């Protein structure tokens, strides 16, 4: 069933001569499948096919694209339990997570299908002509969003379904009308091939052009670089490390024609514990956070890596409870020996920083590739003076910053890099007194949470997942939710264009029945 | 009245020791005013002030910002004829153009005032909580656009009012809630100071924070570079040459925290003459285009620099009429000796290209800095093989490409770089037969025009002014119209945030009465 080959459009292809294997971190052995690296030739073929497919695919109706996306979802479901087993064998994630993430992935595909079927996303705007206007006649102008062109999507290590082959980036780009070339993540290449086979089946069943989707395997960086540099590629979606995302951003910025790279990268997701909350319920908060820190072995971009409070009896209670609770949790398996290894290295490097104290950590023996969680503490002053402590340790690691006073706490927040999320834990409306802290936190994050945890990213229109750099390369776009389609479109204006030749979204008759801005008023009415 | 000083927030300042003068191209003499270059110190002061002002200004209501923008417009009007005279003495543009461009600038400020007062631009989206949802409770999420931070605006040479000090970029950024630091264009620094004085009066009259606007003079590149590299600057707006725009883009991309640069750069605005149109009305089209090519000495980013047709009797008629008409037009003054000089150099360079023929040009003696228009022709094959011929010659210059057949014409279009506009001249619906040409042109441009001229950029919501690179650095945004505000905002999500602490746009009561997406349905209703 799994061939280890690439999909160049609808064709399986393996012209390269290098192979690699994926790894089962739970069993601590290589998986059996032999994956063939894509060749430069295959990069060119996939890109040419995508460029050709763009000509027709970008013009296909929202209705047809919606059928395509829903068929992808059906075909993924039709892969059944085997897909879940392959997923688990390449990620170490348990079956429950596999099912949950598959559900989320199918949900994303269907949400985009609904979104483009409804059709309002094109932001249609019409300004009708005024031939008699003084001093100059006014022309007829009509504007809507159109697809950018072929998009390269890099699969994420930590979401083999939801942010990989047919994940959020792919769904958004396909919904926009952009062909997609996936650079499959090497840690779950077999999962990627299976999901790709479902996409290709959907391409064929719904009559989409060959080349609207390709899937390339690679364990190194060359294939990804070649894709980003290819002149026919018009945008890039990436989820992963700051180093990886920045390297792609830099490559794309150096092109003769620079292209947008949306990279969703690291984040330590600061959590601010306000004094009264600490006084009233330090223990409950600590219990909740012990769970959030270790969820999925801490392998979430919204993992709370930084907790900040002012020194007090409450903070001491919090820290003590967190220390007690965190060791109760059974460690779980990380995605890959490389990720487990990086966790150990980064953890050791953090712990070696002067002034950082280990509060508690799981110390029993564990299976290979299992992550032992650690919580640490540091003084506010020390944190402020050591940028290393501001960096993400990807895994079940958290740092509690103990500030001298509320001013220092504000200082700590103001000096953070950009983050995906920030959380305020508050009691009895004490937050009202701390508007400076809230403001400082808002300036550093893309989403702010009241009395909750940052883990758990709801997929809905009001979710913004993206923050000031380095949380993402462009804070003006989200990586989650239907608005992520905006990364892959550009507005386009028609001037005095004949009505019968306009796209349906802009025709006088409004055949799609969508909401449009007509002479600056929103309406679904036709133009008479 | 004109001091030659910089505005660092509300204060006039001239701590630097270098000065320069602007130039009256009509009189061919330097203007009297001594302009003082900003110092690095002043760059830092302006940026710090802007960063401080951001904290409050970004939170001010749309209503108050609207009053501010309208007051700027009033204060510019109050400068009366003196401003128009200074404008003309620094640009060579006649009084009519000065009045027209001032009108457009005031119109832009007022359009943004209306836009933010109406309030829908924040794209408010609300997904209410579902505490009982299986398997996981759903949190309450609310999203809206917020201001990015301090924005640097580079004044454009060719629009001393409409794309400079208080022009489109500044109006968009201020409307968004971003403080603005203008790097004034050195060719019209005195005009810039006068307009700045109007902005500062409006700041003071409407109680806006000091630092919401600054204006820095500089005749070199260092001050602009220092601004783009300053860590507190969060976005850049630029209108000008490809070299200038790309240099700023590259600088911003190399920052530790890269920031978006929206540069609207060069364009040759291809015009396609379809066969029947040529057959039926070659002379009329030629007359129209002689006017469009020479409008404002060809100093528009939408100037038609490239006209493409298939060899035929009609094309010969067009070319002959264009040759006859173009010499009838009286040359006019360019903005500055440097621009007039560059025009002569680029024109000579183009004419020196092998295979390019001068069709006609104005040959009589002209005053210094006046531009003599030229139209040239070239074979399709020659054009395809010489990239130099694809470059803009800023000024009243146009090149007619004579293709062997319709396939070659399509080839010519497909090989063009990105453009702001593309135009199709068609008769009797012949365009229907040429969908390949239309598609190819659409892929290269941001606005497509039917039977018109690209010059004349209507300021309205349906205008898209921006195209694939190098027309602009990010084709996903427009430089003209109220949607240009999107360049300077980012979405921001509140999760489970207390209703009374939410911004008005997201409160249950909908006190602003704006249209919002509530659980994915557009409504202005309150949430009960």
A490/B473 CB distance under 8 A: no
CATH of the domain at B361: 3.40.309.10
Q: Which of B125, B464, B491 sits opposite A143 (nearest CB)?
A: B464
For residue B409, the cross-strand partners are none
Q: Which of B57, B495, B503, B519 to mutate to test the interface with A (most CBs of A within 10 A)?
A: B495
Residue B515 has pLDDT above 90, yes or no: yes
In a domain, B167, yes or no: yes
Instruction: Name the pLDDT band for B263 (thresholds 50, 70, 90).
Output: very high
For the stretch B37-88, pLDDT in tens is 999 999 999 999 999 999 999 999 999 999 999 999 999 999 999 999 999 9
Residue B180 has pLDDT above 90, yes or no: yes
- Whole-number Å distance between alpha carbons of B473 and B267: 12
Q: Does one domain contain both A300 and A235?
A: no
Count how many domains chain A has.
Answer: 2
Nearest Cα to Cα of residue A203 among A7, A340, A18: A7
Q: Does one domain contain both B324 and B432?
A: yes
In a domain, B73, yes or no: yes
Question: Cα(first)–Cα(last) distance of chain A, in Å?
Answer: 57
CATH of the domain at A85: 3.40.605.10
Query: Which pLDDT score, from 0 to 100, does residue A136 have?
Result: 86
Express as a percent the part of chain A with pLDDT over 70. Answer: 100
B225 contacts B251 by C-beta, under 8 angstroms: yes
Q: Which of A493, A497, A498, A520 to mutate to test the interface with B (most CBs of B within 10 A)?
A: A493
Residue finishing a domain among A407, A425, A450: A450
Nearest Cα to Cα of residue A351 among A376, A320, A384, A385: A376
What three-state secondary structure class fits B137?
A: coil
B494/A520 CB distance under 8 A: no
Query: Which pLDDT score, from 0 to 100, does residue B428 have?
Result: 78
- Whole-number Å distance between alpha carbons of A439 and A460: 25
ipTM of the complex model: 0.97
Q: What is the mean pLDDT of residues A227-231?
A: 98
From chain B, pick out residues whose CB is under 8 angstroms from the CB of A470.
Answer: 257
For the stretch B99-143, pLDDT in tens is 999 999 999 999 999 999 999 999 999 999 999 998 889 999 999
Express as a percent the part of chain B with pLDDT over 70. Answer: 100
Residue A134 has pLDDT above 90, yes or no: no
- Whole-number Å distance between alpha carbons of B10 and B213: 8
For the stretch A421-472, pLDDT in tens is 999 999 978 999 999 999 999 999 999 999 999 998 999 999 999 999 999 9
B143/A463 CB distance under 8 A: yes
For residue A261, the cross-strand partners are A236
pTM for this prediction = 0.97
In a domain, A25, yes or no: no
Instruction: Name the pLDDT band for B519 (thresholds 50, 70, 90).
Output: very high
Residue finishing a domain among A416, A450, A484: A450
Residue A402 has pLDDT above 90, yes or no: yes
Task: Quote the mean pLDDT of chain B.
Answer: 97
Active site residues of A: 264, 301
Instruction: Name the pLDDT band for A266 (thresholds 50, 70, 90).
Output: confident
Query: Which pLDDT score, from 0 to 100, does residue A443 have?
Result: 96
Residue A332 has pLDDT above 90, yes or no: yes
From chain A, pick out residues whose CB is under 8 angstroms from the CB of B251.
Answer: none
Task: Quote the mean pLDDT of chain A.
Answer: 97
Residue A458 neighbours by CB under 8 Å, 6+ apart: B127, B138, B139, B141
Query: Which pLDDT score, from 0 to 100, does residue B134 have?
Result: 86
Nearest Cα to Cα of residue B67 among B202, B189, B196, B176: B202
In a domain, A457, yes or no: no
Q: Does one domain contain both A345 and A415?
A: yes
Query: Which pLDDT score, from 0 to 100, does residue A194 have?
Result: 98
From chain B, pick out residues whose CB is under 8 angstroms from the CB of A466.
Answer: 490-491
Q: Does one domain contain both B211 and B311?
A: no
Q: Which of A50, A138, A491 to mutate to test the interface with B (most CBs of B within 10 A)?
A: A491
Q: Does one domain contain both A236 and A339?
A: no
In a domain, A496, yes or no: no
For the stretch A473-521, pLDDT in tens is 999 999 999 999 999 999 999 999 999 999 999 999 999 999 999 999 9
Q: Does one domain contain both A62 and A190?
A: yes
B146/A442 CB distance under 8 A: yes
Q: What is the mean pLDDT of residues B286-313?
A: 96
* Cα dihedral across residues B383, B384, B385, B386: positive or negative: positive
Q: Does one domain contain both B251 and B315?
A: no
Nearest Cα to Cα of residue B161 among B129, B184, B134, B140: B184
For the stretch A367-382, pLDDT in tens is 999 999 999 999 999 9
In a domain, A331, yes or no: yes
In a domain, B471, yes or no: no
A448 contacts A441 by C-beta, under 8 angstroms: yes
In a domain, A465, yes or no: no
Domain hosting B439: range is: 270-450
Q: Does one domain contain both B212 and B71?
A: yes
Residue finishing a domain among A409, A430, A450: A450
A492/B446 CB distance under 8 A: yes
Query: Which pLDDT score, from 0 to 100, does residue A107 have?
Result: 97
Q: Does one domain contain both B427 and B286?
A: yes
Q: Does one domain contain both A235 and A276?
A: no
Q: Does one domain contain both B194 and B108?
A: yes
Q: Does one domain contain both B319 and B392?
A: yes
Q: Which two tokens stand for residue B486?
A: 């999107």
């Amino acid at each position: 069933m799994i061939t280890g080959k690439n999909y160049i459009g609808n064709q399986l292809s393996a012209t390269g001569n290098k192979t690699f294997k994926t790894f089962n971190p739970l069993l601590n052995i290589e998986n059996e499948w032999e994956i063939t690296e894509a060749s430069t030739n295959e990069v060119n073929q996939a890109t040419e096919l995508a460029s050709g497919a763009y000509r027709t695919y970008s013009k296909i109706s929202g209705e047809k694209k919606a059928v395509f996306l829903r068929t992808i979802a059906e075909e993924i479901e039709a892969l059944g339990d085997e897909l879940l087993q392959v997923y688990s064998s390449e990620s170490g994630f348990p079956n429950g997570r596999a099912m949950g993430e598959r559900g989320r992935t199918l949900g994303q595909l269907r949400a985009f299908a609904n979104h483009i079927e409804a059709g309002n996303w094109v932001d249609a705007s019409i300004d009708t002509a005024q031939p008699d206007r003084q001093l100059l006649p006014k022309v007829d102008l009509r504007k809507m969003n159109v697809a950018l062109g072929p998009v390269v999507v890099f699969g994420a290590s930590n979401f083999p379904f939801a942010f990989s082959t047919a994940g959020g980036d792919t769904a958004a780009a396909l919904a926009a009308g952009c062909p997609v070339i996936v650079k499959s993540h090497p840690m779950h290449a077999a999962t990627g091939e299976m999901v790709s086979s479902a996409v290709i089946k959907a391409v064929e069943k719904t009559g989409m052009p060959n080349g609207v989707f390709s899937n390339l395997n690679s364990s190194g960086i060359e294939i990804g670089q070649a894709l980003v540099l290819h002149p026919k590629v018009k945008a890039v979606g990436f989820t992963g490390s700051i180093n990886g995302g920045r390297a792609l951003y830099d490559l794309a910025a150096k092109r003769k024609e620079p292209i947008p790279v949306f990279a969703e990268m690291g984040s330590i997701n600061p959590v601010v514990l306000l004094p009264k909350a600490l006084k009233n319920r330090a223990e409950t908060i600590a219990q909740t956070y012990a769970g959030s820190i270790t969820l999925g072995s801490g392998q979430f971009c919204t993992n709370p890596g930084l907790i900040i409070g002012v020194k007090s009896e409450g903070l001491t209670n919090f820290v003590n409870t967190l220390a007690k609770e965190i060791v109760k949790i059974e460690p779980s398996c990380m995605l890959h020996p490389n990720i487990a290894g990086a966790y150990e290295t980064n953890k050791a490097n953090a712990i070696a920083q002067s002034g950082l104290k280990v509060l508690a950590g799981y110390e029993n023996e564990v299976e290979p590739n299992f992550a032992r969680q650690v919580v640490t503490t540091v003084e506010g002053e020390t944190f402020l003076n050591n940028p290393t402590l501001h960096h993400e340790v990807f895994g079940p690691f958290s740092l509690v910053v103990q500030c001298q006073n509320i001013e220092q706490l504000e200082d700590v927040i103001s000096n953070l890099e950009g983050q995906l999320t920030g959380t305020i834990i508050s009691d009895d409306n004490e937050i009202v007194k701390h508007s400076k802290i809230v403001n400082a936190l808002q300036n550093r994050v893309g989403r702010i949470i009241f009395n909750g945890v940052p883990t758990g990213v709801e997929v809905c229109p009001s979710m913004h997942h993206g923050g000031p750099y380095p949380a993402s390369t462009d804070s003006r776009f989200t990586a989650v939710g239907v608005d992520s389609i905006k990364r892959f479109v550009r507005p386009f204006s028609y001037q005095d264009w004949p009505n019968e030749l306009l796209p349906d979204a802009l025709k006088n008759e409004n055949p799609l029945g969508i909401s449009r801005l007509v002479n600056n008023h929103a309406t679904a009415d036709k133009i008479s």
